[in-house]
């Protein structure tokens, strides 16, 4: 049942979108089709993504208040949770909005992976196409006539890692180092995790991009660039 749902509502729509874009892009460049498809997906998810970015920035702005609440209700976890939720509501924060955006994108990446791992985009299956989507006259497997998108591409994987590193450095805030001279694992745990996320996440993205396909790498590259633009928009609006 899950496989059927995935095929019908994710794989086939992504496949049709890519085939349609390949058909209208000069030269049938599959790589450009992936970039265009990613931009379309990001445009659809833009309200959710901007909300997640704003949430992260608002969370950073109330770090001091959260720390005071934790100290105040150190021995009463129920009261601590209640006041934290009240603080979130007061600042219009939805703590799990960023997770929702990630969860939505995972199936899209999987669908993209299966389309290219099976080389389905090179051998168009007319039975999977919607009535308004035609079989492209030309299909070019090289992005800009340089990088393969249907197989592994080290250059694109490295670019995906670098793009993610740039996005992570801007979007993942690292808490200030504690000035308390009393040793405490808990106090510096969040800082350590944030620092690791800045560097581990790009390595993970680069690894996934290399061991899947150049198409997935292009998805990550485009997503990171869009993420950087969203960060800029949110900072400019100071919301």
Give Cα 83 distance to the centre of its chain: 31
Q: Which residues of the chain have pLDDT under 70?
A: 94-101, 172-194, 196-197, 238-239
Contacts 24+ apart (CB under 8 A), 115-122: 115/11, 115/14, 115/15, 115/18, 115/215, 116/149, 116/150, 116/212, 116/213, 116/215, 116/216, 117/212, 117/213, 119/150, 120/15, 121/15, 121/18, 121/19, 121/22, 121/30, 121/150, 122/150
Domain range annotation of the chain = 2-237
Over residues 24-68, the pLDDT tens digits come to 998 999 999 999 999 998 888 887 777 777 777 777 777 777 777
With tokens 């976890």, the residue in question is: 77
With tokens 């581990």, the residue in question is: 200
What's the rounded Cα separation, in Å, for the pair 229 and 106? 21
Phi/psi at 147 (5° precision): -115, 135
Instruction: Report the pLDDT value the prediction gives residue 193, as an integer from 0 to 100.
Output: 64
DSSP, collapsed to helix, strand or coil, labels residue 147 as strand
Structure tokens at 193: 């995790």
Structure tokens at 215: 């198409």
Instruction: Report the pLDDT value the prediction gives residue 225, as an integer from 0 to 100.
Output: 94
Over residues 187-197, the pLDDT tens digits come to 455 556 667 66
């Amino acid at each position: 049942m899950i496989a059927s749902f995935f095929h019908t509502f994710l794989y086939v729509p992504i496949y049709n979108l890519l085939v349609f874009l390949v058909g209208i892009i000069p030269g049938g460049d599959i790589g450009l089709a992936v970039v265009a498809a990613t931009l379309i997906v990001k445009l659809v998810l833009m309200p959710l993504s901007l909300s997640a970015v704003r949430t992260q920035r608002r969370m950073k702005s109330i770090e001091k208040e959260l720390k005071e609440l934790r100290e105040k209700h150190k021995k009463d976890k129920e009261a601590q949770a209640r006041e934290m939720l009240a603080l979130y509501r007061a600042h219009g924060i939805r703590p799990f909005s960023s997770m929702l955006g990630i969860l939505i994108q995972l199936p899209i990446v999987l669908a993209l992976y299966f389309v290219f791992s099976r080389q389905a985009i090179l051998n168009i299956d007319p039975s999977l196409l919607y009535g308004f989507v035609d079989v492209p006259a030309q299909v070019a497997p090289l992005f800009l006539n340089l990088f393969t998108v249907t197989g592994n591409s080290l250059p694109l994987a490295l670019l995906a890692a670098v793009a993610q590193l740039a996005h992570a450095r801007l979007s993942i805030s690292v808490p200030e180092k504690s000035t308390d001279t009393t040793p405490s694992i808990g106090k510096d745990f969040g800082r350590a995790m944030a620092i690791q996320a800045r560097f581990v996440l790009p390595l993970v993205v680069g690894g996934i991009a290399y061991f899947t396909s150049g198409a997935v790498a292009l998805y990550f590259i485009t997503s990171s660039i869009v993420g950087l633009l969203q960060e800029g928009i949110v900072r400019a609006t100071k919301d």
